Amino acid sequence: MKVIITENYDEMSKKAAEIMIDIVKKNPNAVLGLATGSSPIGMYQNMAKDCKENGTSYKNVSTVNLDEYVGLTADHDQSYAYFMRTNLFDHIDIDQKNTNLPCGSAPDAQKECDRYNALLETKKQDVQVLGLGSNGHIGFNEPGTAFDSVTHLVDLTENTIKDNSRLFNSINEVPRQALSMGIKNIMQAKSILMVVSGKNKAEAVKGMVKGEITPDLPASVLQLHPFVTIICDKDAASLL
């Protein structure tokens, strides 16, 4: 595990974008595993800026996202599909038909999970971007999720619902369920790039890097992956 500690969120975002851009330049057909949430927004902004200014092309890149809320259609402004379009896809030259997320409004959740798992068999991530939940979750794999899990329907914990409520008008609007890649799907990536920012993540960062490898802290599984880079600002790294 390589841990890079930065002064602040902006420096974290720049460094993370440099890694992503380098992967795309070396492999124009790369499969990028992507995440939503506050942590990667700055990284996506830097990637968009580089695409515009330096012409790094995503024409032949494809993407697979970690997760999506159940019950939200792709045009709902809190859906992760909408997040990806507005924060990245609309600002780079990617072909939208090469972008993939689980479909949160699919009528049969299990069928949709099966479809996504089959897709991930054919699209192994060259890099998987991750954020970190304050309870140690990755994707929406909450504490207790088996390390051999694949894409599944998740009941979100009260902790995660509370964390995510800042983006909704009220906590009652936060979906209670999500479809999420499992830990096995995440671990199949050739490399993993995590971005973490803020004091509220410090405990989880400490457990992930130095603690026991246990499903109680899902991110601790990353200790078993050979190519993990964690970029965290100094607040997130404050307990290391």
Return residues touching ligand F6R (CB under 6 A). Answer: 35-39, 66-67, 131-133, 137-140
Specify the pairing of strand 228-233 against strand 31-34: unpaired
Q: Rank residues 133 and 207 by Cβ distance to ligand F6R and give the closer one.
A: 133
Catalytic choice (67, 112, 126, 163):
67
Distance of CA 121 to the CA centre of its chain: 18
The distance of closest approach from Cβ of residue 37 to ligand F6R in the complex, given in angstroms and rounded to an integer, is 3
152 is catalytic: no
Catalytic choice (142, 152, 163, 164):
142
CA distances to 69, 77, 93, 117, 238 from 102, in Å: 9, 16, 22, 10, 35
Q: Rank residues 5 and 57 by Cβ distance to ligand F6R and give the closer one.
A: 5
The distance of closest approach from Cβ of residue 86 to ligand F6R in the complex, given in angstroms and rounded to an integer, is 14
The distance of closest approach from Cβ of residue 55 to ligand F6R in the complex, given in angstroms and rounded to an integer, is 28
State the greatest distance between any 2 C-alpha atoms of the chain, in Å, as a whole number.
45
135 is catalytic: yes
Q: Rank residues 57 and 159 by Cβ distance to ligand F6R and give the closer one.
A: 159
60 φ, ψ to 5°?
-105, 10
Q: Rank residues 24 and 196 by Cβ distance to ligand F6R and give the closer one.
A: 196
| Contacts with 223 (C-beta within 8 Å, 6 or more apart), sequence order | 1, 208, 209, 213
Whose tokens are 């304050």? That residue is: 134
216 is catalytic: no
Q: Rank residues 55 and 166 by Cβ distance to ligand F6R and give the closer one.
A: 166
The distance of closest approach from Cβ of residue 49 to ligand F6R in the complex, given in angstroms and rounded to an integer, is 20
CA distances to 91, 105, 154, 179 from 175, in Å: 27, 12, 11, 11
The distance of closest approach from Cβ of residue 54 to ligand F6R in the complex, given in angstroms and rounded to an integer, is 26
Catalytic choice (46, 87, 100, 135):
135
What residue spans of the chain are helical by DSSP H? 9-26, 41-54, 80-87, 109-122, 158-164, 183-187, 202-210
Whose tokens are 């800042």? That residue is: 166
- State the residue number with the nearest CB to ligand F6R: 131
> Count of CB atoms within 10 A of residue 55's CB?
8
User: Rg of the Cα trace of the chain?
Assistant: 16
137 is catalytic: yes
Which amino acids are annotated catalytic? 67, 135, 137, 142
